[in-house]
Amino acid sequence: MCGITGVFAPGRDAARLAFFALYALQHRGQESAGIAAADGGTIRSHKEMGLLGAIFDEDILSELSGHIAIGHTRYSTTGSSIVVNAQPLLERTELGDFAFAHNGNLTNTDDLRDTLAPTTVLQATSDSEVMAKLLVESKGSMVDRIKSVLAKARGAYSIVLCTQNELYAFRDPWGVRPLCLGKLGENGYVVASESCALGTVGAQYLREIERGEIIRVSADGLESFQTETQETPSALCMFEYIYFARPDSSFNERSVYMARYEMGRRLAKEHPVEADVVMAVPDSAVAGGIGYAAESGLPYIEGLIKNRYIGRTFISPDQRMRSRGVHLKFNPVVENLRDQRVIVVDDSIVRGTTTPRIVALLREAGAREVHLRITSPPIKHPCYLGVDMATYDELIAANYSVEEIRRKTGADSLGYLSLDGLIASVGRRREDMCLGCLIGEYPNVPAAREVQSTPA
């Protein structure tokens, strides 16, 4: 999972705009970040491990001059958390140089790698580099090259790319990972993984980039090239709505906040329980918790306060600190919990390691009953399309019944939102979503267990 942005802003400092857009996308990846900028001639780039704010300063940003920029913030899923896998990637073709950044995960990387010239040297271990090399080794204009990649590559890929004087963006033919387009001033454009980043840099939301669509922005303005996608169903990732995206983003005009609020309301209808208060596990479940409270008529309280600076900890806690576990992230508001029958709304249970600790924390703080309510159905299948979701062995709902999960979490009751309830909350047609992690059917993946995995 990653966040990407692309900026075309004549007369402006595009790297700085990309920096602020990426800042709004930091939740999509905290492992490494990078920005490449083009000034019509040279492409310059800077990338490092770590959080955006720790990587970039005035000196570095002012080196990245030019009116075109792309940026990437990365969350890797396997042991390839090293700087050569950080993006943007820089490549050279007979057309000139380009910088490239990818959100998603390819599912036929090995097959694609086999089509590369035998002399091709791969430095990174990611699927993204294979795609970048495919562009290098294709023929024709950049649009022709992207078209040939769109015809071959399977899986999830939202891409931003800049040459010395153009910005490109494109999305896989299924539209698994989001990518939207905004207008910046008179003749500028911004693309970003989520619409929240457009607001941050003062761009106006125009629309989603369509699946299979290629966008090119140059001195001639914005052009769009649509490739054939009629045969493939569209498949926006449902987990973007459940957990991943920021609540102040929208996909296709459907606000993530309102979708989550509605999930909470429907959850309250599907799984009511006698209780005194409703709370959510911050931050991702807050809108769902407020929706649950509104529907149930019970007061919404804050039961846990999350340390908002925790992010990804690069210093691993020593053994004594580790045993403090969730306390590093959450402290209970004892005054709100003592002797209360508490409904706790969370967005998902994935591995089932955090959830029992949260239940225990609430009980220690004096909660008399703890009723767990989850705004998604059980996550029973892995994701091959860019969410770090673990394997069948690790997914608690792939291995245990709801009652067994209840017992393992230590909750007094447990209710999951139904699939129909979830789909209705999001307000899109079932056939337009990827529900892979919930039902085990994937839009463009041959068979779940045969997938070649090289996560980005």
- Based on the shown chain and the rule CB under 6 A, indicate whether residue 388 belongs to the binding site for ligand 5GP: yes
Binding at 97: pick from Mg ion, ligand 5GP, none (beta carbon under 5-8 Å per type) = none
User: Cα separation of 11 and 298, whole Å?
Assistant: 53
Binding at 351: pick from Mg ion, ligand 5GP, none (beta carbon under 5-8 Å per type) = ligand 5GP
Question: Could you tell me if 279 and 289 are in contact, meaning their C-beta atoms sit under 8 angstroms apart?
Answer: yes
The SS3 call for residue 127 is: helix
Question: Could you tell me if 348 and 242 are in contact, meaning their C-beta atoms sit under 8 angstroms apart?
Answer: yes
Query: Which residue among 166, 208, 240, 346 contacts ligand 5GP (CB under 6 A)?
Result: 346
Question: Could you tell me if 189 and 182 are in contact, meaning their C-beta atoms sit under 8 angstroms apart?
Answer: yes
Q: How far is the CB of 399 from ligand 5GP (least distance, A)?
A: 13
**What does DSSP assign to residue 242?**
I
Segments in 138-285 forming alpha helices (H): 142-152, 196-201, 238-239, 256-270
Q: How far is the CB of 246 from ligand 5GP (least distance, A)?
A: 13
- Based on the shown chain and the rule CB under 6 A, indicate whether residue 137 belongs to the binding site for ligand 5GP: no
Query: Which residue among 349, 365, 405, 426 contacts ligand 5GP (CB under 6 A)?
Result: 349
Q: How far is the CB of 329 from Mg ion (least distance, A)?
A: 10
Write the DSSP string, 151-175. Answer: HH--EEEEEEEEESS-EEEEE-TT-
Q: How far is the CB of 347 from Mg ion (least distance, A)?
A: 6
C-beta closer to Mg ion: residue 336 or 355: 355
Catalytic residue numbers, as ranges: 2
Segments in 28-73 forming alpha helices (H): 52-55, 58-63
User: Cα separation of 58 and 394, whole Å?
Assistant: 43
* Contacts of 276 by beta carbon, 8 Å cutoff, 6+ apart: 298, 299, 340, 341, 342
- Based on the shown chain and the rule CB under 6 A, indicate whether residue 240 belongs to the binding site for ligand 5GP: no
- Based on the shown chain and the rule CB under 5 A, indicate whether residue 376 belongs to the binding site for Mg ion: no
- Based on the shown chain and the rule CB under 6 A, indicate whether residue 355 belongs to the binding site for ligand 5GP: yes
Query: Which residue among 199, 233, 352, 427 contacts ligand 5GP (CB under 6 A)?
Result: 352
Q: How far is the CB of 116 from ligand 5GP (least distance, A)?
A: 31
**What does DSSP assign to residue 344?**
E
The SS3 call for residue 224 is: strand
- Based on the shown chain and the rule CB under 5 A, indicate whether residue 284 belongs to the binding site for Mg ion: yes
x/- letters, 255..294, toward ligand 5GP (CB under 6 A): --------------------------x--x----------
Write the DSSP string, 394-431. Answer: T-HHHHS-HHHHHHHHT-SEEEE--HHHHHHHHTS-GG
Using the contact rule CB under 6 A, the part of the chain among 39-47, 102-110, 335-343, 348-356 near ligand 5GP is 348-356
Using the contact rule CB under 6 A, the part of the chain among 44-52, 229-237, 344-352, 364-372 near ligand 5GP is 344-352
Q: How far is the CB of 394 from Mg ion (least distance, A)?
A: 17
C-beta closer to Mg ion: residue 18 or 281: 281
Q: How far is the CB of 237 from ligand 5GP (least distance, A)?
A: 12
CA 351 vs CA 68, 91, 394: distances in Å: 41, 38, 6
User: Cα separation of 181 and 137, whole Å?
Assistant: 28
Site residue total, Mg ion (CB under 5 A): 2
- Based on the shown chain and the rule CB under 6 A, indicate whether residue 62 belongs to the binding site for ligand 5GP: no
Query: Which residue among 81, 120, 187, 354 contacts ligand 5GP (CB under 6 A)?
Result: 354
- Based on the shown chain and the rule CB under 6 A, indicate whether residue 401 belongs to the binding site for ligand 5GP: no
Through-space distance between the first and last CA atoms of the chain, rounded to whole angstroms: 7
- Based on the shown chain and the rule CB under 6 A, indicate whether residue 452 belongs to the binding site for ligand 5GP: no
Rg (CA), the chain: 22
| Chain contacts with ligand 5GP (rule: CB under 6 A) | 243, 281, 284, 346-355, 387-388
| Chain contacts with Mg ion (rule: CB under 5 A) | 281, 284
